[in-house]
Amino acid sequence: MTAQAQTTGANTLETGILVCGAGAAGLMTGLALAQAGVDVVVAGPAPVAANGRTVALFDGSIRFLESLGVWERANPDAASLSVMRLIDDTGSLFRIPPVEFRASEIGLERFGANIETHVLVRHLLEAAQAQPNLRLLPELLDDFRFEADGANARAASGVIVSARLIVAADGRASPARRAAGIAASSSPYGQTALTAVFAHDAPHRDASTEFHTRGGPFTLVPMTDAADGLYRSGLVWLMRDREVGALSDVDDAALARIVERQAHSVLGKMRLEGKRGRFPMATMTVERLTGPRIALVSEAAHVFPPIGAQGLNLGMRDAAHLVEAVLAAREAGEDLGGPAALARYEALRKGDVASRTTSVDILNRSLLADMPPVDFLRGAGLATLASFGPLRRAVMRRGVLPQSGAPLVMRRPEPPRALAG
């Protein structure tokens, strides 16, 4: 179906694909499908309120946003990320010097860019509102039904949305995933992430600094300058649950001083801007990424700590690969939500999702372990990255610039081959 969503009865809305969840991943998925000529409904309230969270978008993710026509409007609100610095602050006997990853080493001006999450959602929402064959339904859905020839769900207003395929982009608790009977396994870390935005005196020089502490990573990521000219950075501080309570009651000035000390004053004096966010940390995996008439993307499919900025970037690859699978089905004359399309999506995504989830989980647990053998292995690995350029560059390419297995829209063009003389 390529026409706009149609209301066929007083309470029924028919569409090609129903995307549940109007966060960044859901809006991207809906936009990409709609721009490819598929009729789409994106359902759910869009999270446009500031919450102290930012997202670092890597090179491939920016290419995806460029293809959607969104990056041009979002770019002025994003800060370049050209250096990623890791500092061992665990107090381990095997402490090593800081490790730096520079985009210039792999031929890039920057790894990507960092933007406030709610600002990115706002830009995506504006693009979705202007997309002719995309309908926004700002309501939560329930009463999901999955049938042989289609699926449907009911909105709070009583409207029933009927589609060939449901895309679950509705978060880690995903009502759509639960209704489809896809099992999810979650394991808490006993950690909480504190997020906030800080203005500071010293320039960040487009560098993200990640301190590895015994409670988890403490990361400062560059942001665009404040209106008064001060530099700004986003904070993501993972700490043990028993430690976060001590920060709950401190005022803004006291929190800024605590963060400055934790950062060893690398950015000078700091000042809190806006609200703080708190999010419990867990890893979540699902038994499969698809079911009859449903595909899972982003946090409905995988959850892990915000280490190495892998979370939303992985979700964006989900979205881009889902679009590839749906369009391949259309070209082959297949059902957009049928078994062949869903099997294609599962095959494209399961390896990438499994490897990223496992690697982040291992690193986070290694910081929490406080065991000399584990410290030694982690330190040896980081020391090898610091001293062995070819391996460091391979890791950078794998982290931010994957070519093999990446969605087509995210790949960098291959350089032209020289003609034989």
Could you report the per-residue pLDDT of 398-417, keeping only the tens digit for each?
Answer: 666 555 678 988 887 765 44
Helices 389-400 and 372-387 sit at what angle, rounded to 10 degrees? 100
What's the pLDDT at 204?
95
Least confident of 41-50, 241-250, 328-337, 376-385: 376-385
What's the pLDDT at 377?
64
CB atoms under 10 Å from CB of 63, counted, come to: 21
What's the pLDDT at 418?
44
pLDDT at 371 over 70: no
Strand ranges in 22-158 using DSSP code E only, listed in sequence order: 40-43, 54-58, 79-81, 83-88, 99-102, 112-116, 134-137, 141-146, 151-155
- What is each CA distance from 86 to 45, 95, 221, 308, in whole angstroms? 37, 12, 12, 10
Q: How confident is the model at residue 87 (pLDDT cuts 50, 70, 90)?
A: confident
The DSSP code sequence of 311-352 is HHHHHHHHHHHHHHHHHHHHHTT--TTSHHHHHHHHHHHHHH
Sole residue written with tokens 């065991």: 371
Which one-letter amino acid corresponds to residue 306? P
What's the pLDDT at 417?
46
Torsion of CA 315, 98, 231, 306, to 10 degrees: 20
Q: How confident is the model at residue 86 (pLDDT cuts 50, 70, 90)?
A: confident
Mean pLDDT of all residues belonging to the chain: 87
Is-contact 61 36, C-beta < 8 A?
Answer: no
- Apex CA 137: angle with CA 135 and CA 140, to 5°? 150
Q: Give which of 112, 50, 47 is closest to 75, Cα–Cα.
A: 112
- Provide the edge-to-edge strand list for the sheet that holds 40-43: 134-137, 40-43, 17-20, 165-168, 294-296, 290-291
Distance CA 337, CA 1 (A): 12
Q: How confident is the model at residue 308 (pLDDT cuts 50, 70, 90)?
A: low
Total residue length of the chain = 421
Please report, for the chain, the start and end positions of each structural domain, with discontinuous segments joined by +: 6-70+117-186+283-394
Beta-carbon contacts of residue 284 (< 8 Å; ≥ 6 apart): 172, 184, 185, 186, 187, 299, 302, 303, 304
Which tens digits make up the pLDDT trace of 107-152?
A: 888 889 999 999 999 999 999 999 999 999 999 999 999 999 999 9
Least confident of 16-20, 71-75, 81-85, 362-366: 362-366
Distance CA 296, CA 280 (A): 22
Distance CA 312, CA 124 (A): 14
Torsion of CA 395, 235, 198, 313, to 10 degrees: 60
| Total-model pTM | 0.88
Topology of domain 6-70+117-186+283-394, per CATH? FAD/NAD(P)-binding domain (3.50.50)
Least confident of 149-158, 313-322, 355-364: 355-364
Q: How confident is the model at residue 64 (pLDDT cuts 50, 70, 90)?
A: very high
What's the pLDDT at 282?
87
Distance CA 401, CA 331 (A): 28
Distance CA 145, CA 93 (A): 56
Choose between 262 and 49: higher pLDDT.
Answer: 262
77 forms bridges with which residues in the sheet?
none
